[in-house]
Structure 1
Amino acid sequence: MASSRKLAKARNAIIGMFVVIAAVIGGIFAFASTGGTWSPKLALDLSGGTQLILAPKVSGDNSGEVNEEQLAQAVDIIRQRVDGSGVAEAEVTTQSGKNVVVSVPGTLDSQTRDLIQASAEMSFRSVLVAGNGAPVAEDQRTAEDKLPQPTGEPQDGSDMNWVTADIFREYEAKDCAAVANEDTEAQDPSKPVVACSTDGAEKYILGPVEMNGTDIKDASYSQVQSSQGVSTGQWGVNLELTDTARQKFQDVTSRLVGIGAQNPQDARSRFAIMLDGKVLSAPTSQAVITDGKSQITGNFTEETAKSLSEQLKYGALPISFDIQSEQQISATLGQDQLKWGLIAGAIGLTLVFIYSLFQYRLVGLINIISIMVAASFSLTLIILLGNMMNYRLSLAGVAGLIVSIGLMADSFIVYFERIRDEIRNGRTIAAAIDHGWDRAQRTILASKAVNLLAAVVLYLASVGNVRGFAFTLGLTAISDLIVTYLLIHPMMVLFGHTKYFANGGRFSGMDPEALGAAPLYRGAGRVRTPEENDGMGAAERRRALRLAQEEEEKAAEVNNG
């Protein structure tokens, strides 16, 4: 009865393995039916891509040259932006200490190009006046004698004394539909400005900058929730401010809430959040914010909310850039190197198969099958991740897959050697499989944990192609662990309950006589003594006997001499 349960459990585990593989293939099919691919996406070194050369642009009163520290910081920020946008295996380097070279696999889309070049200069200003984005007709504009005139020095960012006659004329004449890009250099942070919303539907007179992008600690995106915790279906960008900015933000929101309490329709109760000279959102402050956490809402889609959160999270470039050149580049290593890499992997795989059959006889087939299944599983995962996350396989990643062949065989070897030890100790083959598994799985888990930890550390501590190696190394470690539990052990249980393997067939790899097993009960009331179990296999015992005979012959020759 217990044997039947073990067999049923083993069969269910194997079925579970192939259900997992089928689920991954189903995911690939779902993506492929909507424009995805059935093959792994290749990185820059294998498929070529697009190369941008960015020239630094010194703006404003800064007439000095860009220093190495600024350029290095720009490289780090651009690399984070490119990685954050889902472009895998991109390369960001400096050229001659002056330019930044960005190379990405495949064709560069306009969104990623804008993300690379954007400065993400963010600022927070109080709203003084708000209205429709269209220009006011000339015959309806405010008369000269009725234009606002300051009566004193402004006391805070919401003071109407910031609004002069000139700024109000500019506001009335502003046509937000005609404005493509704002000249951010002309926007003095210490003075009021006229600005448009990103969709051009609204325009504003804004007070001086009260906070800026450096006050942002973190940014993310999520669906907006109501006060009852129910999702509204809209997307928003969540901002967390630095500790030093919290008090400043609390003071601002306290002022705005006070203005709104006196007149809820007053535009001055709103706080504009600007990006590169345009107003992303100008929400009304509903409460005093004391914890430094707020949310930007507006006409966001999931894609635009994600893009904005990435721009804000990764900060503003210390310098601005112009795209000096953009060109398609060929693969730096190409298909020839990939071909030879795959040939090397095939040779290694063949040698492992031959060794498995030579050393472990027919039971070595389990190792061969498990390696093939693990390799197929890893490949399907890479294809799925390519469709889901735009992961691209580089030559370093291929090297990680090839190295993992030996690591995949390691789990089987540890397990089967434990089974052999149990057989040598006199256990039946079925019992040896059970006890061997109990002993082996701890070692296997420890081994894979070390492999996975090494891969994670290598991935976090490196950039570029080395990350591809670390990623595939970690991925195959997880795949191997799944295959070990859902395929190797269940197959060993099924093999151990067949007549040939249960009886320790000559070529089964589990022949007790070949392994030098000594049974616990020797018959006639005798049991095995420690001296009768030397722990050596038949081949080892023959070798020890031969060495002993040679020693005896040498000793006899000395005595006769």
Structure 2
Amino acid sequence: MLLAIILAMGAATILQKAFIPKFGLDLAGGTTVTLSPETLDKKAPPEESLNRAVNIIRDRVNGTGISDAQVAKSGSNILIQIPGAGQEQAEKLVTTAELRFRQVLAIGPAQDTPAPLPSAAPSGSPAASPAGSPPAASSEPSASASPAGRALSKALTAPSPSGTAQPEPSASASPGASTEPSPLATSRATTPPADDPLAGQDLSGIDPAVLQQFRDLKCSATNFGQGNQDDPDKQYAACDTSGQIKYILDKAAVRGTELADASAGTDPTTGEWIVQVDFKSAGATQFADITRRITTLPQPRNQLATVLDGAVIVAPTINEAIPGGRARISGGFTQVTASDLADQLKYGALPLKFNTSSVVSVSSTLGADQLRGGLISGAIGLVIVMLYLLLYYRGLGLVGIASLGVATVVTYLSVAVLSENAGFRLSLPHIIGLVVSIGITADSFIVFFERMRDEMKEGRRSMRAAVEVAWRRARRTILVADAVMFIAAVVLYFLAVGDVAGFAFAMGLTTVIDVVVVFLFTKPLMSLVARTKFFSKGHKLSGLDAERMARSESQTMQEA
């Protein structure tokens, strides 16, 4: 089994060409990003909101705690250090915003973009439906359209004679906003000119200032968020992330802080990619209320927009009320787009709006010389342990050296695979944790060897019998010792952050490897060597000869 594990990890390393692990901040440098909070009243943000933002951003850039990214407060700012990331990648990772769910009141093509003809309109829109329900009956949306862009309905591009958009046969639900008219505009707006992007739509209840904001709004795919902070208690005009569609949105019905989780997956019946969202208790109630209210409304007022960083990332049509706080969003997603949307929903619910005040590339604080020194010190420690095993246990020490060699190979392959697939970055604290593990691994061998020698003293047992009896007794001690070490590593990992968490992860990893190697390699190897004459007959170089065993027993009695 151990051979299969080594071969599998080795094959993964070769196929992915991950021969050298990625390094952390102290060994490879990276990028430092400073985020400054922006509040509506221009005052300092509450400490609680700032702490929550730090935790969310830390989850985003270092969700597993092993990538060596650092996130910390610096006054009212947040300082983020990302290893190995270029400026563009770092800014993408720390894009921050408050998440809102708003009802769509009106929709139109972006300015300077001609309205599509009915035949050119997307054939469907993203569907949000209760989790676990069959997919809503809707035609397949254009594969090239963005989730938000697919929400531009046929009713909009070909308005009905009555001047009110008709419902589009499509989809089901996700959260939204109140349909109560704004106190600033309670009467039906006059019908806009035919060349107006809002022509043919019901504009009742929309703030005149927001109507003007909509008409003046310039959209492009590069102005994601437009740099604006949307007030959740006011109506808002926004573009979609493709820059092709713009919306008039009602007050926020559900805020991103009420989102509990979001994940990408496939529908078990159709195989299409979907995004499932789960809300907290208060958000679940708000979600059910809004989906119940807008499901019977005509297009586009039965759509619900998800707004992140001031831009609409998806606007599904609501076809039914969704109780229970669970829903799924579908609409022609690929694995990549579904995963990206799930990440935006899951990690976008920041309690504050931030501006990127500086992005600076930083060099490594240690560099190649320090890395070489750390590896040399680890190698020296390994050699000293091997010499000790040979001098004290002689031939039996070869079993311990072979076990250390296997543990070293498994550790290196584990680090390489984790580095390529889990964002693990090797930093000095990780190296320290790996070096410390040499002693932990050697302790397990010594416990086993000493138990076996005790059973063989004075010829009470043959070596083959002594190996089995000693193993039954030694494995309990080994498991208890490793369990204590592993529990300490787990507690330290979850309670600490940054370098300390990295050290704890490395220590926990090597503790698991120690158990695997002792059980799957050391014990089977000892059972094999016990059958050889060199060990079973007590050769002088085996470490199990009668003279050496007697001397060892005499020393033990004197010490006692």
Deviations 1:176-230 (A, max 9, x none): 457724447474544443333322444433332222112212222223x1xxx32
Secondary structure at the aligned position of 2:401 is classed as: helix
| Residues 99 and 250 of structure 1: CA distance in aligned 2, closer, same or farther (over 3 Å) | closer
Aligned length: 485
* Structure-1 residue corresponding to 2:511: 477
Q: 1:65 aligns with which of 18, 35, 44?
A: 44
Q: CA–CA distance in 1 between the matches of 2:230 and 2:83?
A: 37
1:486 aligns with 2:498: no
Alignment of 1:44-63 (within 5 A): 44-54=25-35, 56-60=36-40, 62-63=41-42
Question: What code does the residue aligned with 1:40 have?
Answer: P
Question: What code does the residue aligned with 1:401 have?
Answer: L
| Residues 125 and 89 of structure 1: CA distance in aligned 2, closer, same or farther (over 3 Å) | same
Q: CA–CA distance in 2 between the matches of 1:67 and 1:281?
A: 30
* Structure-1 residue corresponding to 2:367: 334
Query: Offset of 1:247 from its aligned partner?
Result: 2.2
* Structure-1 residue corresponding to 2:196: none
Task: Determine if contact 1:135/1:175 at 8 Å carries over to the other structure.
Answer: no
Task: Determine if contact 1:401/1:473 at 8 Å carries over to the other structure.
Answer: yes
| Residues 398 and 131 of structure 1: CA distance in aligned 2, closer, same or farther (over 3 Å) | same
Q: CA–CA distance in 1 between the matches of 2:531 and 2:55?
A: 59
Structure 1 runs not aligned, ≥5 long: 1-15, 260-264, 516-536, 548-561
Once superposed, what is the RMSD of the aligned Cα atoms?
3.4
Q: CA–CA distance in 2 between the matches of 1:344 and 1:231?
A: 56
Q: CA–CA distance in 2 between the matches of 1:322 and 1:170?
A: 23
Query: Offset of 1:316 from its aligned partner?
Result: 3.8
Q: Percent identity?
A: 38
* Structure-1 residue corresponding to 2:410: 377
Q: CA–CA distance in 2 between the matches of 1:171 and 1:75?
A: 34
Q: CA–CA distance in 2 between the matches of 1:65 and 1:125?
A: 27
Q: CA–CA distance in 2 between the matches of 1:179 and 1:345?
A: 49
Q: 1:232 aligns with which of 271, 280, 289?
A: 271
Secondary structure at the aligned position of 1:162 is classed as: coil
* Structure-1 residue corresponding to 2:554: 541
Task: Determine if contact 1:84/1:310 at 8 Å carries over to the other structure.
Answer: no
Which has the larger helix fraction?
A: 1
Query: Offset of 1:244 from its aligned partner?
Result: 1.4
Query: Offset of 1:45 from its aligned partner?
Result: 0.9
Structure 1-normalised TM-score?
0.77
Q: 2:280 aligns with which of 224, 229, 242?
A: 242
Structure 2-normalised TM-score?
0.77
Q: CA–CA distance in 1 between the matches of 2:227 and 2:85?
A: 30
Secondary structure at the aligned position of 2:56 is classed as: helix
Query: Offset of 1:357 from its aligned partner?
Result: 1.4
Secondary structure at the aligned position of 1:455 is classed as: helix
Q: CA–CA distance in 2 between the matches of 1:361 and 1:171?
A: 84
Q: 2:379 aligns with which of 346, 354, 377?
A: 346
| Residues 165 and 473 of structure 1: CA distance in aligned 2, closer, same or farther (over 3 Å) | closer
* Structure-2 residue corresponding to 1:127: 104
Query: Offset of 1:378 from its aligned partner?
Result: 0.2
Q: CA–CA distance in 2 between the matches of 1:486 and 1:136?
A: 68
Alignment of 1:294-373 (within 5 A): 294-298=327-331, 300-373=333-406
Q: CA–CA distance in 1 between the matches of 2:115 and 2:5?
A: 64
Deviations 1:21-70 (A, max 9, x none): 121111011111xxxx311111111122222233x24343x132356555
Q: CA–CA distance in 1 between the matches of 2:95 and 2:262?
A: 19
Q: CA–CA distance in 2 between the matches of 1:539 and 1:153?
A: 100
Secondary structure at the aligned position of 2:483 is classed as: helix
| Residues 153 and 210 of structure 1: CA distance in aligned 2, closer, same or farther (over 3 Å) | farther
| Residues 318 and 214 of structure 1: CA distance in aligned 2, closer, same or farther (over 3 Å) | closer
Question: What code does the residue aligned with 1:365 have?
Answer: L
| Residues 437 and 464 of structure 1: CA distance in aligned 2, closer, same or farther (over 3 Å) | same
Query: Offset of 1:383 from its aligned partner?
Result: 0.9
| Residues 505 and 163 of structure 1: CA distance in aligned 2, closer, same or farther (over 3 Å) | same
Q: CA–CA distance in 2 between the matches of 1:506 and 1:376?
A: 31
| Residues 493 and 231 of structure 1: CA distance in aligned 2, closer, same or farther (over 3 Å) | farther
| Residues 482 and 308 of structure 1: CA distance in aligned 2, closer, same or farther (over 3 Å) | same
* Structure-2 residue corresponding to 1:528: none
Q: 1:457 aligns with which of 491, 497, 507?
A: 491
| Residues 231 and 30 of structure 1: CA distance in aligned 2, closer, same or farther (over 3 Å) | farther
Of structures 1 and 2, the larger Rg is shown by: 1
Structure 2 runs not aligned, ≥5 long: 117-156, 166-180, 190-200
Q: CA–CA distance in 1 between the matches of 2:314 and 2:264?
A: 15
Query: Offset of 1:246 from its aligned partner?
Result: 2.0
1:39 aligns with 2:20: yes
Query: Offset of 1:438 from its aligned partner?
Result: 1.8
Q: CA–CA distance in 1 between the matches of 2:536 and 2:34?
A: 67
* Structure-2 residue corresponding to 1:21: 6
* Structure-2 residue corresponding to 1:13: none
Task: Determine if contact 1:214/1:315 at 8 Å carries over to the other structure.
Answer: no
